[in-house]
Amino acid sequence: MTTVVDARTRYLRTPEGHRLAYVDTGGTGRPVLALHGAYGRGRVFLDLAERLGPDYRVIAVDQRGHGLSDHPGDYGREAFLRDAAAVIEQLDLAPALVVGHSLGGINAVQLAARRPELVAAAVVVDIGAEIDVPEDTEILRLPARFPTLEALRVAIARATVFGVVEHFAESAVEDEHGWRFLWRAEEVHQLKRAVCGAWWEDWTASAQPLLLVRGGDSPLIPPALGAEMVRRRPNTELVTIDGAGHDLYLSHADQFAAVVRRFLDQLPASAAPGRW
């Protein structure tokens, strides 16, 4: 495994004036924009970045309402796509490879469909073209602060339906009042409602190479839905990681990284002058 060259948090401002935090592993490798899932943050991809480096430069963003990024109040579909486009444009990454988990996965799909010049290929992790996720009732009931990190971890383990604790705990911070999460449950609840629906038009609108990775034990992409997604969209590969749930990038990190690297390594180099 290689070592991440630079994992400092950096910031940029979107055209709307909102601050987005991100980590950039740097180097001359092919750029990969990594988009986390709901309740996550960019730093959850640092392990994947180590496994992909130095051939790939990973830029992992705290999406709006998460991590150290701003909480602008708008958590609709178009807002997330504007943010992702701003990162690619301001950091001169186009056409970027995009890896997205869950929320980040549907963002990658829609960005590829609506701004194809920004996306060379995408890895979509455990999110389907039809999305119907359960409401996070227990997470919404959690207190604002916890006396210890362990108390926070125990609470989120009891509250989450099918997630891995580390996915949530990466956003745990301590202040003078105790431990808290960087995300606000009511805002994540809002964005998850906006994600629910059928997105077949976006799924079939792009032509870039796309890898769909599903967890064999995850309820979000049943086998029949995965097969239908591949049938409807040419240039799509489906990989199932047996025994994995929704947060498979954590629970099955070795297998996940190997699948992602194999897919990225087989992509043609960009035709953009002076790039890669």
Residue from 99, 49, 101 nearest 246 by CA:
101
Domain assignment of residue 23, yes or no? yes
Domain assignment of residue 97, yes or no? yes
**How many domains does one find in the chain?**
1
The string of pLDDT tens digits covering residues 59-102 is 999 999 999 999 999 999 999 999 999 999 999 999 999 999 99
Any idea what the CATH number is for the domain that residue 120 is in?
Answer: 3.40.50.1820
Going by pLDDT thresholds of 50, 70 and 90, the confidence category of residue 199 is very high
Domain assignment of residue 171, yes or no? no
- Which residue intervals of the chain are DSSP H helices? 46-52, 77-90, 103-114, 137-140, 149-159, 165-169, 185-195, 200-205, 223-232, 248-251, 253-265
The string of pLDDT tens digits covering residues 264-276 is 999 988 644 334 3
Tokens of 133: 């996720």
- Based on the number of CB atoms within 10 Å of its own CB, is 246 exposed (0-12), middle (13-18) or buried (19 or more)? buried
First to last CA, the chain: 22
- SS3 category, 47: helix
The residue segments making up the domain with residue 75 are: 9-130+198-265
Domain assignment of residue 67, yes or no? yes
Which is higher by pLDDT, 72 or 161?
A: 72
Domain assignment of residue 141, yes or no? no
Residue with tokens 């002076």: 274
Domain assignment of residue 3, yes or no? no
Domain assignment of residue 145, yes or no? no
